[in-house]
Amino acid sequence: MATLDSKIPEGPIAEKWTNYKAHQKLVNPANKRKLDVIIVGTGLAGASAAASLGEMGFRVKSFCIQDSPRRAHSIAAQGGINAAKNYQNDGDSVYRLFYDTVKGGDYRSREANVYRLAEVSANIIDQCVAQGVPFAREYGGLLANRSFGGVQVSRTFYAKGQTGQQLLLGAYSAMMRQVHAGTVELHTRTEMQDVVIIDGRARGIIVRNLITGALERYSAHAVVLATGGYGNTYFLSTNAMGCNCSAAIAAYRKGAYFANPAYVQIHPTCIPVHGNNQSKLTLMSESLRNDGRIWVPKKLEDAKKLQRGEIKGRDIPEEDRDYYLERRYPAFGNLVPRDVASRAAKERCDAGYGVNNTGLAVFLDFSEAINRLGRDVVEQRYGNLFDMYEEITDENPYENPMMIYPAIHYTMGGLWVDYELQTTIKGLFAIGECNFSDHGANRLGASALMQGLADGYFVLPYTIQNYLSDQIGVSRESIATDKPEFDAAEKEVKAKIDHILGIGGKRSVDSIHKELGHVMWEYVGMARSKEGLLKALEDIKRLRKEFETNVFVPHVEGVNVELDKALRLNDFITMGGLIAIDALNREESCGGHFRVEHQTEEGEAKRDDKNCFYVSCWEYQGEDKDPVKYIEPLKYEAIEVKTRNYKV
Amino acid sequence: MAKNISFTLKYWKQNGPKDKGHFDTREMKDIPDDTSFLEMLDILNEQLIEEGKEPFVFDHDCREGICGMCSLYINGTPHGKTERGATTCQLYMRRFHDGETITVEPWRSAAFPVIKDCMVDRSAFDKIQAAGGYISVRTGAPQDANAILIPKEAADEAMDCATCIGCGACVAACKNGSAMLFVSSKVSQFALLPQGKVEAKKRVKAMVAKMDELGFGNCTNTRACEAVCPKNETIANIARLNREFIKAKLSD
ipTM comes to: 0.98
pLDDT at residue A360 greater than cutoff 70:
yes
Question: Looking at the DSSP assignment, which residues form a beta bridge with residue A254?
Answer: none
Distance from CA of B195 to the nearest CA of A (A): 6
- Listed by number, the residues of chain A in 521-580 with a beta carbon closer than 8 Å to a beta carbon of chain B are 552, 554, 556, 558-559, 561-562
Q: Where are the beta strands (DSSP E) in A119-164?
A: 156-157
Contact yes or no for B49 and A508 at CB 8 A: yes
Q: Which string of DSSP letters, residue by residue, matches B68-118? A: ----EEETTEET---SS---GGG-BGGGS-TT-EEEEEE---TTS-EEETT
Distance CA(A626)–CA(A224), nearest Å, equals: 27
Render pLDDT for B47-59 as a digit per residue (tens, 0 to 9): 999 999 999 999 9
Q: Which of B160, B187, B193 is nearest to A160 (CA)?
A: B160
Closest to A354 measured CA to CA, from A324, A383, A330: A324
Helix runs in A139-242, H state only: 163-181
Find the mean pLDDT for residues A47-74: 98
Residue A2 pLDDT more than 70? no
Which residues in chain B have Cβ-Cβ distances shorter than 8 Å to A554?
Answer: 49, 52-55
* B162-178 average pLDDT score: 97
In CATH, what is the architecture of A484-633? Up-down Bundle (1.20)
- What amino acid is encoded at B147 in this protein? A
Collapsing DSSP to helix, strand or coil, A516 comes out as helix
The residue-averaged pLDDT of A579-601 equals: 97
Of A455-464, B113-122, B134-143, B150-159, where does mean pLDDT reach its minimum?
B134-143
Which is catalytic among the residues A108, A146, A155, A338? Answer: A338
Residues of each domain in chain A carrying CATH 1.20.58.100? 484-633
Name the pLDDT band for A540 (thresholds 50, 70, 90): very high
Chain B partners within 8 Å of A186 (Cβ): 126
Rounded to whole angstroms, how far apart are CA atoms A76 and A70? 11
Alpha helix stretches (DSSP H) within A146-230: 163-181
- Concatenating the DSSP letter of every residue in A278-341 gives -----B--GGGGGT-EEEEESSHHHHHHHHTTSS-GGGS-GGGEE-HHHHH-TTTGGGS-HHHH
- Determine the straight-line distance between the first and last CA of chain A, rounded to whole angstroms: 39
By the 8 A CB rule, do B155 and A100 touch? no
- How high is the pLDDT of residue B1? 61
The whole-number average pLDDT for the span B226-240 is 96
Output the DSSP codes for A20-69: HHHHS----HHHHTT-EEEEE--SHHHHHHHHHHHHHT-EEEEE-SSSSG
Work out the percent of chain A whose per-residue pLDDT is above 70.
100
Return the SS3 of A193. Answer: strand
Average pLDDT, chain B: 96
Neighbour count for residue A314 (Cβ, 10 Å): 12
* Mean pLDDT to the nearest integer, B241-248: 97
- Overall average pLDDT of the A617-633 stretch: 96
Domains assigned to chain B:
4-116 (3.10.20.30), 122-250 (1.10.1060.10)
Percent of chain A with pLDDT over 90: 91
Q: What is the pLDDT of residues A210-225, one digit of tens each?
A: 999 999 999 999 999 9
Interface membership of A76 toward B (CB under 8 Å): yes
Instruction: Tell me the CATH number of domain A268-406, given options 3.40.1640.10, 3.40.50.300, 3.90.700.10, 3.40.50.970.
Output: 3.90.700.10
Residue A436: closest CA among A221, A190, A251? A251
Is A338 an annotated catalytic residue?
Answer: yes
Cβ contacts below 8 Å, chain A against chain B, sum to 220
b/e for B39-55, b at 16 or more Cβ within 10 A?
bbbbbbbeebbeeeebb
What pLDDT does residue A1 have?
52
Which residues 6+ apart lie within 8 Å of A466 measured at CB?
A: A24, A25, A420
In chain B, residues 68-87 whose CB comes closer than 8 Å to chain A: 68-69, 82, 84, 86
Report CB contact under 8 Å: B57, A561.
Answer: yes
Is the CB of B227 inside 8 Å of chain A's CB atoms?
A: no
Residue pair A67/B59 in contact by the 8 Å Cβ criterion: yes
SS3 B212: helix
Amino acid identity of residue B30, one-letter, is D
Q: How far apart are the first and last CA of chain B?
A: 63
CA distance A182 to A192: 22
- How far is it, in rounded angstroms, from Cα B72 to Cα A506? 29
Distance CA B35, CA B89 (A): 11
Strand partners, B135: none
pLDDT for residue A603 is more than 90? no
Answer yes or no: is pLDDT of A289 > 60: yes
pLDDT in tens, A168-202: 999 999 999 999 999 999 999 999 999 999 999 99
CA distance B26 to A559: 22
Q: Are B145 and A52 inside 8 Å of each other by CB?
A: no
Between B82 and A87, residue with greater pLDDT: A87
Judge: A391–B55 Cβ closer than 8 Å, yes or no. Answer: no
Residue range(s) in chain A whose domain bears CATH number 3.90.700.10: 268-406
